[in-house]
């Protein structure tokens, strides 16, 4: 089992779009995939047309009263299951803080699922919090969507610094550019220069495309309603690249 987290400190960069589309693509290749929606906004849950409600809420999970396995729902897609979000997840930080070994908690919750799934994809809220730290301990790799702007790169450097500080040497960072508009000089320049200092960067880019926004009205992964678009193809290539990197 590989645990991947779609993560960025910044909001609105394509974390959820990536988690949902990559889960769909991975399942199409025959993998068994579980998406865990850790964001109380519940966007991934919405895209999969599942009710954002978890029995016992965040408290049940963190306290150990509920197994993560009991909360799994099937989706409309073969091979993709989901642990939906719950509005109470907005308090996950406080709940974790009250626990011993809070940073290891999520890894512990995921462990019993190791034989059932090839990939677990965590859709993370935009923040740097105790929840994020628990994610960093649970994940083998972070897939980090970056919009090609200066500020976006700055938050990525902060993430790298944090990883070094916390001695998370086993955590692989897989940054890639998302919402790319090649007509913009700044986008082109940043994309060209980034790999010079970041050998870890994935080479696949996700283009800015209104069909990705349509996921909200279709309430489905891109591959399910617009498989023959450039954006859907980009997510397929991105997934192949991620898998080859994981080795
Ligand atoms: N490649 C893309 N092209 C155009 N729009 C996109 C693309 N990727 C995502 N979007 C749109 O941008 C918005 C933010 O995307 P998304 O929800 O995936 O980001 P996020 O990082 O998960 O945001 P949050 O931090 O709020 O969780 C959504 O409305 C989504 O439809
Ligand atoms: Mg999101």
Residues 97/103/105/109 CA torsion (nearest 10 deg): 140
Atom of ligand 1 nearest to the CA of 207: 1
Q: Which atom of ligand 1 is nearest to the CA of 209?
A: 3
Cβ partners under 8 Å of residue 207, min gap 6: 179, 180, 181, 182, 230, 231, 234
Q: What is the pLDDT of residue 64?
A: 87
Return the structure tokens found at 247: 């080795």
Give how many domains the chain has, as a whole number: 1
- Cβ–Cβ < 8 Å for 31, 119: yes
Model confidence pLDDT, tens digit, residues 73-96: 999 999 999 999 999 999 999 999
Inform me whether the pLDDT recorded for 1 exceeds 90: yes
- Pocket of ligand 1 contains residue 12 by CB under 6 Å: yes
Q: Ligand 1 centre and the CA of 145: distance in Å?
A: 10
Mutate to test the pocket of ligand 1, among 5, 17, 230 (most ligand atoms within 8 A of CB): 17
**With a threshold of 0.95, does the pTM exceed it?**
yes
Q: How far is CA 55 from CA 24, 113, 195, 209, in A?
A: 25, 18, 44, 36
Asked if residues 126 and 159 have their Cβ atoms less than 8 Å apart, the reply is no
Task: Output b/e per residue, 30-65; b: 16+ Cβ within 10 A.
Answer: ebbbbbbbbbbbbbbbbbbebebebeebbbbbbeee
Q: Which atom of ligand 1 is nearest to the CA of 125?
A: 27
Q: How far apart are CA 111 and CA 236, in angstroms?
A: 27
Segments forming the whole domain that contains residue 110: 4-246
Q: In which order are the strands placed within the sheet that holds 33-37? A: 73-74, 80-83, 33-37, 119-123, 2-6, 141-146, 172-177
What pLDDT is recorded for position 56?
93
Residue 15 belongs to domain with CATH number: 3.40.50.300
**How many angstroms separate the alpha carbon of residue 10 from the centre of ligand 2?**
10
Give the percent of the chain with pLDDT over 70.
100
Q: What is the pLDDT of residues 189-213, one digit of tens each?
A: 999 999 999 999 999 999 999 999 9
pLDDT digits (tens, 9 = 90+) for 18-33: 999 999 999 999 999 9
Sign of dihedral through CA atoms 43, 20, 215, 245?
positive
The verdict on the CB of residue 15 being under 6 Å from ligand 1 is yes
Whether the CB-CB separation of 35 and 83 falls below 8 Å is answered with: yes
pLDDT tens digits, 104-157? 999 999 999 999 999 999 999 999 999 999 999 999 999 999 999 999 999 999
Q: DSSP for 42-80, please give it.
A: -HHHHHTT-----TTHHHHHHTTSS-GGGG-EE-SSTTE
Whether the per-residue pLDDT at 178 is higher than 90: the answer is: yes
């Amino acid at each position: 089992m590989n645990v991947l987290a779609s993560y960025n400190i910044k909001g609105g960069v394509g974390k959820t779009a990536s988690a949902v589309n990559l889960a769909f693509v991975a399942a199409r290749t025959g993998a068994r995939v579980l998406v865990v929606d850790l964001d109380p906004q519940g966007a991934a849950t919405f895209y999969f047309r599942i009710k954002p409600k978890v029995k016992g809420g965040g408290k049940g999970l963190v306290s150990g009263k509920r197994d993560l396995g009991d909360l799994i729902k099937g989706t409309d897609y073969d091979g993709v299951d989901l642990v939906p979000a719950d509005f109470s997840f907005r308090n996950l930080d406080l709940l974790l803080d009250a626990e011993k070994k809070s940073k290891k908690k999520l890894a512990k919750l995921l462990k019993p699922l190791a034989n059932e799934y090839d990939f677990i994809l965590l859709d993370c809220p935009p923040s740097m919090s105790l929840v994020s730290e628990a994610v960093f301990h649970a994940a083998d790799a972070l897939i980090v969507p970056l919009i090609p702007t200066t500020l976006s790169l700055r938050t990525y450097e902060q993430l790298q610094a944090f990883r070094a500080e916390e001695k998370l040497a086993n955590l692989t960072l897989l940054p890639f550019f998302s919402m790319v508009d090649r007509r913009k000089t700044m986008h082109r320049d940043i994309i060209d220069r980034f790999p010079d200092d970041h050998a870890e960067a994935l080479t696949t880019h996700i283009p800015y495309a209104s069909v990705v926004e349509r996921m909200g009205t279709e309430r489905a992964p891109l591959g399910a309603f617009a498989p023959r678009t450039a954006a859907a193809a980009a997510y397929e290539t991105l997934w192949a690249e991620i898998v080859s990197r994981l080795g």
